[in-house]
Amino acid sequence: MPAAASAPATTTGRVLQLLGLLQSRRVWSGEELAERLEVTTRSVRRDVERLRELGYPVHASTGPGGGYQLGAGAALPPLLLDPDEAVAMAVCLRVAAGGSVAGIGESALRALSKLDQVMPARMRSQVSAVHDATVTLGAATDTPVDPDVLMTLARASRDHEHVAAGYVDLRGRATQRRLEPYQLVTTGRRWYLLCYDRDRTDWRSLRLDRMADVRAKGSTFVPRDAPDAASYVRRAISSAPYPYIARVRYLAPQHVVAQTFSAASVEIEADGPDACIVTTGADDPERMVPWLALPGCDFEVLGPPEVVAAVRVVAERIARAVR
């Protein structure tokens, strides 16, 4: 009969090996586990108890077909992945973080950041090779972002680490930025970074696809009182870049109007239970008018005068078309 290992390091390694076996197959008998681990069945029972103490729901059953089985618990405990599984998961998370799976970009990025932190350099290069050789047809994002840029900014935001980057603004001007990154925000079409610009001494919302040569500097900063990332980015991209900012009152509840407009394109605030006010921007007032009519309810343009005049012009044009 094989002797049970007694050293703490050996015991810890054996418990991890036991966890890997339980994750690789549905049911194991005590004798099978003892043979694989080269210990007694009594040691297997002790190691199973250690896993239970760590939060892994290991079930035991007797009779034909019985044995030890790793079940689902109330919380997800850490998983043990072999190299092939880790590479496959990282590749899938990179694709999801890039926006090809709607609604899970930020969650995929958080998971990828945790996995990348502990992944050996050799496996990381395998992930990059597979990703670089893959083309996704019909991705949800208009402007794909380099996964390494996402990873760098995600880690720097988490660790409060200074970042340097090149940036091209809406007018095509290239600048160098020294940033304190706080949070990444995805609209489903694009990625944005909420950050504090150290040279401009103000908060900024930067598009990741306009960033280049992103580098974490290694030094850290003390976090400031930051604005709400989602609200700041929504306001910045729905109105700030445009010369005409319209305020429109709709005679419909906020949740009804919100079904028509993207959260990335407008700001919506309730105006009582049966009305709401939308703030949005555009380069051309007349082109904005048909879009404002999309909710299919009565609305009133509160300003500015250019948009009010554009509504009159478009309305008269449509009236002439049906006369």
| Spatial distance between the Cα atoms of 133 and 130, rounded to a whole number of angstroms | 5
**Residue 111 has what pLDDT?**
75
pLDDT tens series, the chain, 323 aa: 444 444 445 777 888 888 888 887 778 999 999 999 999 999 999 999 998 888 888 999 887 777 898 887 656 667 777 777 777 777 777 666 665 444 556 677 777 777 776 677 777 777 776 666 555 544 445 566 777 788 788 888 888 999 999 999 877 889 999 999 998 887 766 788 999 999 999 999 998 888 999 999 989 999 999 998 888 887 777 666 678 888 999 999 998 998 888 766 788 889 999 999 998 888 888 988 998 999 989 999 998 999 999 999 999 998 898 87
**For the segment 14-66, what is each residue's pLDDT rounded down to a tens digit?**
888 888 888 877 789 999 999 999 999 999 999 999 988 888 889 998 877 77
> What three-state secondary structure class fits 288?
helix
- Could you list the beta-strand ranges (E) of the chain: 58-61, 67-70, 161-168, 174-186, 191-197, 202-207, 211-220, 244-250, 267-270, 276-282, 299-303
Let me know the angle formed at the C-alpha of 80 by 54 and 86, rounded to the nearest 5 degrees.
Answer: 150
Q: Report the pLDDT value the prediction gives residue 134, as an integer from 0 to 100.
A: 53
- Could you tell me the domains of the chain? 8-70 (1.10.10.10), 83-132 (no CATH), 147-233 (2.30.30), 239-322 (3.30.70)
57 in helix, strand or coil? Answer: coil
The pLDDT tens digits of the residues spanning 56-106 come to 889 998 877 778 988 876 566 677 777 777 777 777 776 666 654 445 566
pLDDT for residue 139 = 45
Query: Quick one: angle between helices 8-24 and 30-37, nearest 10?
Result: 130
